[in-house]
Amino acid sequence: MACCVDSAVAPPGHADAGDTSIPSPVPFLSYNAAAVTAAVANSESSHWSPAHSSAIYRIDEWGAPYFSVNSSGNVVVRPYGTGSLAHQEIDLLKIVKKVSDPKSAGGLGLRLPLIVRLPDVLKNRVESLHSAFESAIQAQCYESHYQGVYPVKCNQDRLVAEDIVKFGAPFRFGLEAGSKPELLLAMSCLCKGNPEALLVCNGFKDAEYVSLALIAKKLALNTVIVLEQEEEVNLVIDLSNKLSVRPVIGVRAKLRTKHSGHFGSTSGEKGKFGLTTTQILRLVKKLQDSGMLDCLQLLHFHIGSQIPSTALLQDGVVEATQIYSELVRLGACMKVIDIGGGLGIDYDGSKSGNSDLSVSYGLEEYASAVVNAIRIICDRRSIKHPIICSESGRAIVSHHSILIFEAISATVNTPAMNQIDLPLIIEGLSEDARCDYWNLSDAAMRHENETCLLYADQLKQRCVEQFIEGSLRIEQLADVDGLFDLVSKVIGAAEPARIYNVNLSIFTSIPDFWSIGQVFPIVPIHRLDEKPEVRGVLSDLTCDSDGKIDKFIGGETSLLLHELEGNDGGANGRYYLGMFLGGAYQEALGGVHNLFGGPNVVSVLQSDGPQSFAVTRVVPGPSCADVLRMMQHEPELMFETLKHRAEEFHVEDHDNDGTNYATLISSIARSFHNMPYLKALSPCSYEEVHNAAAEFGASEDEQWSYCYA
């Protein structure tokens, strides 16, 4: 530590605790460490490029082939993956500008947070998955075909499900449901799909569920009722006879193969779902006795989500194919092997097979491993190759959805030396604290960095004790805190991560982080041509200590970020972050903690226009009134109550503070109408407020008609 005090003023040696003769303190004098650090940073920043940012955030590892950084330092979407051309790239910052700009400036006038859906990416994922299996089938001379299903539990949004059915129609791509409402959703969507597309009915079932699945079969949907519990077979036999429907039945096998990660808890002999070999044999006997063994046509299994390696995948597929072969031997009319989900996502770009955040394979390796394992067993046992079905949800929808939110403030930097009032610190110190101060000064002159930090810490702790006792003022304590932070920074001690406050609810928009510690890539979507030099953690708007993100990809406990500035040259001084690969589960699992509802959602397609994109649909996020209704409140009655309260307390037409009665009531109405999230400060005229009040109580379509492009 190259900082010192004036030797003519400071004591020549360690201070004596009994010496109360304290000369006037002087600031630390030395080279300006902060200036040097800034100079070095500026020098390095002059050579900083978007490629450097791409490397530190691992964008090319987890984001390929859909995300990259352009020459302006903005994250762009490559909507067609490897087939995207340069002019087809979509700049995320331009989307944010289009969505958040006021309507008078050609924007949509919506607030962040924002979910950007990319149907082009979704289509590419469906096509890529099918292509990977078709390539493996052709390369290995497999004598059947692949047709997948999308498990709607991953994202039940209507547009997502409808798009997958539409994009997958050429490939007979179907849907999987695990509950009655999901089954209704799937039935409706598949009415417009390929007639050969599978409707796989999983999950626990009662008579109503089974009846609904049998009705789907009557409606000429290619329905398979998968038995997850042994007793379900009785329902299927009885109800199919009553409804005169010949069902197609599948059975879920409880495999011995299990993976040890967090997502493997539903696999293995003690898994939640599926039948053991003993139960499968009883099922076969019951179907045979009922004359329905020919209805058993599909074998389903699920090793668990995020299967880390193809070695584990092959183990499970081999075991399942042996069970499939035995069912054929026992007389079942088997046609399909459903390998379930498990096709993983590389969230951190590590390509590791030893992590819940990554997988060591790509689509092609996955498909090849599945086809190879099934082919070998079937050929060995002289069994016709079955149709291969998979329930890949996470792998299909994760990439197509991006959550964009804004950092609205951050904790301040370490104070400068001239901001610390050293005479004020000394004024009320105890003798021991004064001793620590002078020992700190002496250590500074002798460049003893560790000793400096020791005495600075002791000084801080003694001052905290004095403050609690009431003998130190808050101004003095604040200066001591500043001095400690300054000493820590100058000697190069690890500076604690700064807190970036973000306009977001983690419980609503990233629930997997809070609930299971799932880490997603989070990256600034702009300013990547500048060097990020601040270590930060993210704190959300909720009044909850768990409402923070302090774990990031790469095992980091903080994220490199940029200083918040008044003007960054492209986003009007705002700082936008994106959470990527979150298209699966987050929206369905999100709650309304602190009554923060979901974000606004926009669908964006690549276009040949000047911006390279078009916003094709906007779905507004819930207003304050909407989230209050979720909790059984009645916003209209609440508004009337508050209005009567204002009248009861004789709020005059013009209050002493200039508040107009109509303006007050309009402000209340406007709050019901707006989203719960924070809004950037901007002048708001009386007319705007009055218009907002007039809109409250109008129909939803009337309120939001401007949103639909």
pLDDT of residue 416: 57
Mean pLDDT for the chain? 86
Higher-pLDDT residue of 413, 346: 346
For residue 125, give the H/E element and its range.
helix 119-139
pLDDT of residue 431: 87
Residue 683 pLDDT grade (very low, low, confident, very high; cuts 50, 70, 90)? very low
d(CA 517, CA 504): 17
pLDDT of residue 663: 82
Give pLDDT tens digits for 640-665: 999 988 887 765 555 555 567 788 88
Whole-structure pTM value: 0.85
Instruction: Tell me the mean pLDDT in the region 616-621.
Output: 95
pLDDT of residue 482: 84
pLDDT of residue 339: 97
* β pairing state of 401-410 and 575-579: antiparallel
d(CA 19, CA 112): 60
Architecture of domain 120-394 in CATH?
Alpha-Beta Barrel (3.20)
pLDDT of residue 40: 36
| Position 406, amino acid | E
> Residue 671: pLDDT above 70?
yes
d(CA 341, CA 357): 16
Neighbours of 674 (CB within 10 A): 15
Give pLDDT tens digits for 165-217: 999 999 999 999 999 999 999 999 999 999 999 999 999 999 999 999 999 99
Task: Please check whether residue 50 is in contact with residue 527, taking contact to mean a CB–CB distance below 8 angstroms.
Answer: no
Q: Which of 48-52, 569-573, 702-706 ranks highest by mean pLDDT?
A: 48-52
Task: Please check whether residue 528 is in contact with residue 50, taking contact to mean a CB–CB distance below 8 angstroms.
Answer: yes
Give strand ranges (E) for 33-171.
67-69, 75-77, 90-91, 114-117, 149-151
Q: Which of 4-18, 113-127, 649-663 has the lowest mean pLDDT?
A: 4-18
d(CA 598, CA 594): 12
pLDDT of residue 27: 37
pLDDT of residue 477: 86
Task: Please check whether residue 341 is in contact with residue 393, taking contact to mean a CB–CB distance below 8 angstroms.
Answer: yes
pLDDT of residue 472: 86
d(CA 456, CA 483): 8
Phi, psi of 592 (to 5 degrees): -125, 45
Give pLDDT tens digits for 320-351: 999 999 999 999 999 999 999 999 999 999 99
pLDDT of residue 266: 61
The candidate with the shortest Cα–Cα distance to 605, out of 95, 63, 62, 126, is 95
pLDDT of residue 264: 63
Instruction: Tell me the mean pLDDT in the region 381-385.
Output: 97
Task: Please check whether residue 89 is in contact with residue 78, taking contact to mean a CB–CB distance below 8 angstroms.
Answer: yes
Structural domain boundaries in the chain? 120-394, 422-491, 624-652+659-681
d(CA 599, CA 620): 7
Percent over 70 (pLDDT), the chain = 83
> Residue 569: pLDDT above 70?
no
Show which residues are catalytic: 543
Exposed/middle/buried for residue 650 (C-beta within 10 Å: 0-12, 13-18, 19+): exposed
> Cα angle at 620 between 614 and 626, to 5 degrees?
175
> Residue 353: pLDDT above 80?
yes
Tokens representing 268 are: 């293995």
Higher-pLDDT residue of 290, 683: 290
Higher-pLDDT residue of 78, 356: 78
pLDDT of residue 562: 96
